[in-house]
A = this chain, B = another copy of it.
């Protein structure tokens, strides 16, 4: 039975540690913290509120909020009669997941596919032992990278249907 105090602590811990995790995920600590804060806040927040809550500068808050908007993880909300922009996070975990998946594919898989395809072409018919080995490895890496990219694309198009929820039950 948790009380208000432990809840507040849990909230702060979540933001702090989600930020630390962000590092492992290839995004900056602050971006992950801003995302964490917005995810657990039912109301929309202004840049100033984010600055104050996380103790970060205006420039930093601004840059990261806009980057999150660029990813599609955060939306801009305009309140009637107010000039300020407010921000709200996408809270549906499956949507968050597909957005992150798409971005990671774009940054991690696509450039690899392109590099490998290029090296594959340039190493055709070299006719030495080293050349053969290189070409073979490029072929296998290339095929696999395309496969992985294809899987990513297929997954990110899936809806989070009851069937998927059932699958989740068996796997978690």
Contacts and interface: CB of A to CB of B under 8 A. Distances in A.
Classify the interface of chain A: helix, strand, loop or mixed.
Answer: helix
A154 B130 contact: no
A4 B147 contact: no
Interface string A1-43: 1111011011101100110010011100000000000011110
B128 A4 contact: yes
B18 A122 contact: no
A150 interface: yes
A4 B150 contact: no
A42 B93 CA distance: 44
Contacts of A14: 115, 119, 134, 138
A112 interface: yes
Interface string A72-99: 0000000000000000000101100100
Contact of A112 (B11, B21, B143): B21
A122 B6 contact: yes
